[in-house]
């Protein structure tokens, strides 16, 4: 089947990422021994140099529209705690959102949270295809490879765990959760995780809040649910994980839960739900 990315010329890779730009993903702790692959779709606020910050002021890259605040540190710390490997995005969701289907009109937003993105206005099909080929496809290819490598090593599938963060208010309404667990049909990771998190005094835990894994979960659906691999995502409130100390604390909380969950019967089997 022909895709948008198939229409991208070979030279688009070089034209989007220059010699001073990093690659489209980072594999952190690549020799991790845990039966787990962690992913972070929105870990970075970086923009390829050729796109000139997408025409935005520097202040916009301190906001949620550009990246998930705290996700980078939480992902690295959690990978360290569990000795797990992690696949992390290296470019801003404003360049292309890796947690959306390629070609989705919202995957390269012209406007985000009322802010117009100048370099995303009126892109041609070829320009869209170039971002998919250069950034989106390699990131998801890396996730496939890490899952396959752990599966081959252990003789059974790893679990897949995705880390995001969310704004404390949206559309003028406060969001009361400290952390939300997002999932669709496979309960093996999310339900025991929710149960564990709710044991922490004062922690307000959302079950498919403030977003629902039944509505938008491209990465865990593609690499987890589609293959019958246990999976879920977490969303952590940004004002609770913005500092290195806060992010490290969340990694401790998640590691404490996952150490137990990953040993449970059935977690490392292929199950279609």
Q: Is 111 helix (H, G, I), strand (E, B) or coil?
A: strand
**pLDDT for residue 14:** 55
Which of these CATH numbers, 3.40.50.2300, 3.40.50.150, 3.40.630.40, 3.30.110.40, describes 4-261?
A: 3.40.630.40
**pLDDT for residue 209:** 94
**pLDDT for residue 13:** 55
**pLDDT for residue 15:** 82
> Is 93 in contact with 263 (CB distance < 8 Å)?
no
**pLDDT for residue 9:** 54
Q: Which of 121, 73, 75, 112 is nearest to 92 (CA)?
A: 112
Whole-number Cα distances in Å, 105 to 93, 111, 115, 119, 212: 13, 11, 16, 15, 20
Tokens of 150: 């752990």
pTM of this prediction? 0.94
Tokens of 11: 């030279």
Domain ranges of the chain: 4-261
The tally of CA atoms less than 13 A away on the side-chain side of residue 207 is 11
- Please give the sequence-ordered ranges of beta strands (E in DSSP) within the chain, or none if there are none: 25-28, 36-40, 85-89, 111-112, 115-116, 159-166, 169-170, 173-174, 179-182, 205-207, 231-237
> Is 2 in contact with 129 (CB distance < 8 Å)?
no
**pLDDT for residue 170:** 73
**pLDDT for residue 254:** 98
- Tens-binned pLDDT, residue by residue, of the chain (273 aa): 445 455 455 556 558 999 999 999 999 999 999 999 999 999 999 999 999 999 999 999 999 999 999 999 999 999 999 999 999 999 999 999 999 999 898 999 999 988 999 999 999 999 999 999 999 999 999 999 999 999 999 999 999 999 999 998 876 677 899 999 999 999 999 999 999 999 998 899 999 999 899 987 999 999 999 999 999 999 999 999 999 999 999 999 999 999 999 999 999 999 998
CA distance 159 to 232: 9
**pLDDT for residue 173:** 77
Question: What is the radius of gyration, based on Cα positions, of the chain?
Answer: 18
What per-residue string of b and e applies to 53-78 under the rule 16 or more CB within 10 Å gives b?
bbebeeebbebbbbbbbbbbbbbbbb
Q: Which residues contact 184 (CB under 8 A, 6 or more apart)?
A: 213, 214, 217, 220, 221, 225, 273
**pLDDT for residue 113:** 86
């Amino acid at each position: 089947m022909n895709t948008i990315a198939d229409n991208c010329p070979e030279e688009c890779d070089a034209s989007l990422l220059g010699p001073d730009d990093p690659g489209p993903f980072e594999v952190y702790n690549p020799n991790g021994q845990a039966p787990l692959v962690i992913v972070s779709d929105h870990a970075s606020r970086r923009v390829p140099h050729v796109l000139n910050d997408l025409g935005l002021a520097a202040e916009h890259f301190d906001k949620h529209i550009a990246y998930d605040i705290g996700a980078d540190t939480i992902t690295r710390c959690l990978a360290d705690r569990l000795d797990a490997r992690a696949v992390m995005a290296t470019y801003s969701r404003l360049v292309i959102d890796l947690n959306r289907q390629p070609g989705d009109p919202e995957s390269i937003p012209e406007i985000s949270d009322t802010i117009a993105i100048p370099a995303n206005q009126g892109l041609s099909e070829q320009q869209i295809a170039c971002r998919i080929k250069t950034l989106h496809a390699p990131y998801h290819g890396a996730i496939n490879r890490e899952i396959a490598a752990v599966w081959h090593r252990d003789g059974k599938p790893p679990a897949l765990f995705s880390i995001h963060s969310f704004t404390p208010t949206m559309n003028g309404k406060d969001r009361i959760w400290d952390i939300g667990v997002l999932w669709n049909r496979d309960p093996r990771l999310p339900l025991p995780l929710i149960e564990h998190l709710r044991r922490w005094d004062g922690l307000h835990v959302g079950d498919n809040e403030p977003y629902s894994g039944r509505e938008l979960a491209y990465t865990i659906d593609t690499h987890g649910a589609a293959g019958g691999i246990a999976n879920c995502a977490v969303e952590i409130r940004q004002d609770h994980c913005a500092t290195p100390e806060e992010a490290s604390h969340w990694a401790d909380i998640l590691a404490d839960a996952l150490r137990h969950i990953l040993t449970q019967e059935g977690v490392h089997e292929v199950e279609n739900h």
